[in-house]
Amino acid sequence: LEQDIMSMGNPFPGLGGAEFSSQYVANQLLEGIGYMQAHRVLHRDLKLENILLSGSSYSDLHKCDIHNVKIADFGLSKFDCNIRGSSRHLLERTMTAVGTPDYVAPEVLDGKYDERVDFWSFGVILYAMLCGRMPFTVSSLSPDLHKEEVSQVRDCESWSLVSDDGQDFVKGLLTVDPDQRYGLLQCSEHVWLREVAANTCAMPLSTAPALKTGTVQGNNVGVVDTIIGRAAGGVHSLEMQLRDGTVHAHGTEGGAVPTTFSLEADELIVGVMQDFSLTELLGSALVFYTSKGRIMAVQGTEARTRRRFVAPGGRQISGLQFDGHQLVGIHLEKVTTESLGAIEQISGRVGTAVDICEFKLRDGTVCTYGDSGGDIVRGPWKLQREEWIFVVEQFFRDRKLGASLAFYTTAGRVYKLSGMTAVRSPRFAAPFGEQVCDLCFENGSTLAELPSLRLLDISKCLLESEKPLEAVRHSMFSLGSE
C-alpha cells in the first residue's frame, strides 16, 4: 500500500485573513468530494482534522497564503451503490449513524442518509475556516434537538465580514433539508467559487501590451539558445542558455539522463507546462512549446501520459481529432492578415473525466467532441477576436476524452476542462509578441512565474545595448493549473 507523505502535517491550522485562502481550499475539497461521489464513496467523517496540508505558498495576486490540501482518514467511509444511480429515496435506506458530532448532518442521527451528508460536513469546515470557530453549539444528539440547534449558523463578528456570496455558499451547504442542500452541481456553478475557477481554468490577460498584428514587427529573434535538463524519476536540474551568454540554472545536482535542445535563431519559446506528480525536484516533467511547432520535453520516468500538439507560427488550431479516448491530431488554419481567431467560444461538461468539449467557430459552425454526460458545466469561455489557440494538451486516461484538455491561446490564457481524476499542473502561455526567457519556482519546485521579454525589446536589447537581457525583462504570464 502506497500513500502520499503530507510533510506539513495535521491538524489543519485554520486560515483567517483573506477570503480567497478559504475559497482556494474549498475548490480542492469540492474536487475531492466530487471524485469520491463519482466512485460511489461516502466519507462520513469529513472534518478539519482530516484535511491535511500538502504544501503552502504566498499569492502575490491575492496577498495571502494559499494551501494545497488532501482529504484523509477513510476509516468510516462506505461504498454506496445508490450514489448517482436511479434510487434517490433517502428515507428508504438505513445506515449506521457515524461521524463527529460537530460535523454530522441532521439526517445521520435518523440513520437514513446518502452522499449529501458529506456536503453538510463540507459546509461546517468552510464556516470554521472563514470564521475561526464552529457554526453551531451542539449539545444533544437527539435528532429533534439536534435539528433545532443546527437550524441557523452562529452570527458572530467574523461571519459578518464574510462576503454575501460566501455566506450564501455556506448556508446552502448547511441546509437541514437534504433535498434543498447544495450538491456538487450547485457548488461547482456557484459565483463564490468562480474566482478560483477563473484562476485554474482561464487566467486573466497579461498586463503587458501584446502586439496586435499577426506578424511580429522588427527582428524576430529568439532569446533562448539552448535548453539542458537532467532527469531520472523527475527533473533534477534545468539550464537555459541565452544568446547573449547569460545562463539561468535551476534545481540541484543529480539526474542520470541529460536532455539537450538547441533552438533556431528565430525560434521562440511560447508556452511552458510542469507535470507536478513529484512534489520535490522540479516536478516530473518540464515541457516547452516553440513558435516552430516543436515540443521540447525534459521528463523523468514518473511523468504522466499526455498528448500534446502545437501549431507552428502563422497557424492556429481550429479543431481536434480523437481515436476513441485518445487525442491523435488537430486541424490547422492559416492566421489571416486580420489576425482573426477561428474559434469564438470553448465550453464543455466534465465528471470524473472530460465528457464533452465544444468549439463554436466564428462562422457559426459548432464542433462537438465526446458523448453525453458530465454533471459539471465548464465555460463558456469567449475568446477575443484576435485570440487563437496554439497548443492543446490531453491528460490521457482510457475513458471519455481523457482526464483533462488544456488550450493555450495567444492572449496569454490557458483554458482547461478538467475531470475529477485530473491533477494540478502549472501552465503558462506567452501573449502574442512575447516569449519565455527564464522560469521562476516557488519553494524551489513549483513553477510559479515566467519572466518574459517583448520581441521589440529583445531586438533592441541585442542590437543596441550592452546590458544583460534581464535588465529589460518583465513578467505576467497566465498560469492555469489542474
Task: Give the least confident one: 191-200, 388-397, 430-439.
Answer: 191-200
Final residue before a domain boundary, out of 200, 224, 254? 200
CB 118 within 8 A of CB 136: no
Task: pLDDT band for 208, please (50, 70, 90 cuts).
Answer: very low
Classify each residue of 402-421 as buried b or exposed e, where b means 16 or more C-beta atoms within 10 Å of its C-beta: bbbbbbbbbbbbbbbbbbbb
pLDDT of amino acid 372: 78
Which segment of 117-131, 254-268, 310-324 scores lowest on mean pLDDT? 254-268
pLDDT range class, residue 446, cuts 50, 70, 90: low
Query: With contact defined as beta carbons under 8 Å apart, do 238 and 247 qualify?
Result: no
Q: Which helix (H) or strand (E) holds 455?
A: helix 455-464
Work out whether strand 235-242 and strand 247-251 pair parallel, antiparallel, or are unpaired: antiparallel
pLDDT the model gives residue 84: 47
- For residue 8, tell me if it sits in a domain: no
Higher pLDDT, residue 87 or 147: 147
Examine residue 400 and state whether it is found in any structural domain, yes or no.
Answer: yes
178 in a domain, yes or no? yes
Specify whether 418 is located in the same domain as 439.
yes
Q: Residue 125 falls within a domain, yes or no?
A: yes
Cα 132 from Cα 120, distance rounded (Å): 18
Residue 3 lies in a domain: no
Q: What value does the mean pLDDT take over residues 125-146?
A: 89
The b-or-e profile of 448-475 (16+ CB within 10 A means b, else e) is bbbbbbbbebbbebeeeeeeebeeebee
Sole residue written with cell 476513441: 324
Same-domain status, 29 and 123:
yes
Model confidence at 102: pLDDT above 80: yes
The residue segments making up the domain with residue 240 are 206-479
Cα 34 to chain center, whole Å?
Answer: 15
Q: What are the C-alpha distances in Å from 424 to residues 280, 286, 419, 480?
A: 15, 14, 11, 9
How much is the pLDDT for 389? 96
Q: Are 229 and 136 part of one and the same domain?
A: no
Of the pLDDT bands very low, low, confident and very high (cuts 50, 70, 90), residue 173 is very high
- Percent of the chain whose pLDDT exceeds 70: 78
- The least confident of 117-131, 195-209, 316-330 is 195-209
Tell me the per-residue pLDDT of 209-223, one tens digit each, with 9 for 90 and over. Answer: 222 222 333 456 889
Q: Are residues 185 and 57 in the same domain?
A: yes
Say if 413 falls within a structural domain.
yes
Domain shared by 190 and 232, yes or no: no
User: Do 305 and 373 reside in the same domain of the chain?
Assistant: yes
Residue 2 CA to its chain's centroid (Å): 24
Number of domains comprising the chain: 2
Residue 192 pLDDT greater than 50, yes or no = yes
Looking at the domain assignment, is residue 185 inside a domain? yes
Say if CB 113 and CB 27 are below 8 A apart: no
Which of 184, 200, 216 is the last residue in one of the domains? 200
Query: Last residue of some domain: 159, 176, 200?
Result: 200
For residues 160-181, average pLDDT: 94
In a domain, 183, yes or no: yes
Instruction: State yes or no: pLDDT of 477 exceeds 60.
Output: no
Q: Which residues 6+ apart lie within 8 Å of 8 measured at CB? A: 52, 53, 54, 55, 56
149 and 281 together in one domain: no
Where does the pLDDT of residue 304 fall: very low under 50, low under 70, confident under 90, or very high at 90 and above? confident
Q: Are 145 and 247 contained in the same domain?
A: no
- The alpha-helical segments, DSSP class H, found in 86-216 are 116-131, 143-149, 157-160, 164-173, 184-188, 194-201
| pLDDT, greater one: 444 or 400 | 400
**CATH number reported for the structural domain that contains residue 188 in this entry:** 1.10.510.10
355 sits in which H/E element = strand 354-361
Per-residue confidence (pLDDT) for residue 37, from 0 to 100: 80
- pLDDT tens column, 10-21: 434 445 567 888
pLDDT at 394: 94
